[in-house]
Structure 1
Amino acid sequence: MSIRVLLADDQALVRGALAALLSLERDIEVVAEVGRGDEVLEAVRTKDVEVALLDIEMPGMDGIEVAAQLRAQAPTCRSLVVTTFGRAGYVRRALDAGASGFVVKDTPAGELAEAVRKVHAGLRVVDSTLATESLYGGANPLSAREQEVLRAALSGAPVAAIAAQVHLSPGTVRNHLSSAIGKTGTSTRAEAARVAQDNGWL
């Protein structure tokens, strides 16, 4: 019996390359390909998918949110994050959300196939370099509210606009931004947002 795999990536070229590589394996069958995160659950259910390969940055829903959705609503399907964004903070967030593995896109084809087999067997697989960085990088220092406010700040919007977006008072937003600036060791909210994003904390 082949392992039934879904590929979720917003770049058709990447999906095609991954499908071609995995199709060379006798025990792996790519049964679905989607370009949006919010299309994964439906495809998993209709195609009886056993392992979903998820990119992180996708329209509709990001790969970490998809992993959490699959854990809650399709627990028999395991998820493996396969991404360009090899940031240690993403590893921790993905695993906390329910992903069974995390590898980067330049992983050799044989290793990727082996990662699919291990995840299917119920094991966890994490890119060794990222695993080390994740362990030594420490946990995400930002609270959920600080993350939300910094995500809104990435656009460069003024405090009043951020406050309206996250449904908080401007004073509370300023407090969260100030706290996040302190925790990231930066001096402006733009720097804090960039550092948090670079570390995979947002």
Structure 2
Amino acid sequence: MSDQGTGQHPAAIRVLLADDEHLIRGALAALLALEDDLSIVAEAASGPEALAMARAHRPDVAVLDLQMPGADGVRVAVALRDSLPTCRTMIVTSHGRPGHLKRALAAGVRGFVPKTASAEQLAEIIRTVHRGSRYVDPELAADAISAGDSPLSAREAELLELAADGAPIAEIAEQASLTQGTVRNYLSAAAAKLGAENRHAAARMARERGWI
């Protein structure tokens, strides 16, 4: 989607919207475009498309859905931090689990907002993020504090994520460039930390808490 009309605010904030739900994205784009100081320069329906659009259009702020095909919003934010450091990122989600917030903040995300926010609220948060400030929904922040930190190491979390969709040990080992025995050891340790009976239950528990 190209720049909106010619009667635009000269210093409009250039915004990328990424959400795999077309109706939500379209409605949001239409509402935000009514703001004089915001310009929706691109839209995307997946993680890879969001990255491609960001590199092509160089937005000031990328508004990223957390759950997207190809790569989630946090992974897109990490990639943008490295390849387009002038672009500030924010996550909009209907799955505001504590671990997601911590992953997002660690990735340099400046805003973390529930999808229940109104378009007016979202516009104001985009301005806040663009100024270099941070906005985290207070309820999500309180949940993150009360939930505590993940007991999993980075490698355990990585392998549990690979196991979450039921992949066999051999496939996980190949993807992670590890031996099958090493993968089993990591997954057993992760399951023990979470008090889960097997790797599938451990992956489910970790996903529910936003740790993977």
With normalisation by structure 2, the TM-score equals 0.88
Matches within 5 A, 1:1-202: 1-202=11-212
Distance in 2, matches of 1:169 and 1:54, equals 35
% identical aligned pairs: 52
How far residue 170 of structure 1 moved from its aligned partner, in angstroms, is: 2.2
1:1-43 deviation per Cα after TM superposition (whole angstroms, max 9, x unaligned): 2211110111211110111221222221211111121223332
Structure-2 separation of matches of 1:120 and 1:31: 15
Q: Name stretches of at least 5 consecutive residues in structure 2 with no aligned partner.
A: 1-10
**Contact 1:41 1:74 (8 Å CA) reproduced:** no
CA RMSD of aligned residues (A): 1.6
1-structure distance, mates of 2:196, 2:48? 35
Q: Which has the higher mean CA deviation after the structures are superposed, 4-13 or 156-165? A: 156-165
- Following TM superposition, by how much is the alpha carbon of 1:161 offset from its aligned partner in structure 2, in angstroms? 3.4
Cα drift, residue 200 of structure 1: 1.2
Aligned AA for 1:198? E
> Contact between 2:58 and 2:84, CA under 8 Å: does it hold in 1?
no
Match in the other structure for 2:5 = none
Tell whether the 8 Å contact from 1:82 to 1:104 is kept in structure 2 after alignment.
yes
| Deviates further, 91-100 or 104-113 | 104-113
Aligned in 2, Cα 1:164/1:69: closer, same or farther, shift over 3 Å?
closer
**Unmatched tracts of structure 1, length 5 or more:** none
1:159, distance to aligned residue in structure 2 (A): 2.7
**CA deviation digits over 1:16-73, x for unaligned, max 9?**
0111221222221211111121223332243231110001222232211111111111
Q: Secondary structure at the match of 1:31?
A: strand
**Runs (4+) of structure 1 moved beyond 3 Å?**
none
Amino acid across the alignment from 1:153:
A
Q: CA deviation at 1:77?
A: 0.8
Distance 1:65 1:100 in 2: 14
Distance 2:54 2:162 in 1: 31
Letter in 1 for 2:166: G
d(CA) in 1 for partners of 2:75, 2:157: 15
TM-score, with normalisation over the residues of structure 1? Answer: 0.93
Q: Distance in 1 between matches of 2:178 and 2:57?
A: 42
Distance 2:195 2:151 in 1: 11
**Following the alignment from structure 2 to structure 1, what is the Cα–Cα distance between the partners of residues 95 and 166?**
23
Q: Distance in 2 between matches of 1:181 and 1:130?
A: 26
What is the identity, as a one-letter code, of the residue corresponding to 2:120? G
The letter of the residue matching 1:147 is A
Assess, with a 3 A threshold, how the Cα gap between structure 1 residues 161 and 70 changes in structure 2: closer, same or farther: closer
Q: 1:158 to 1:70 in 2, by over 3 A?
A: closer
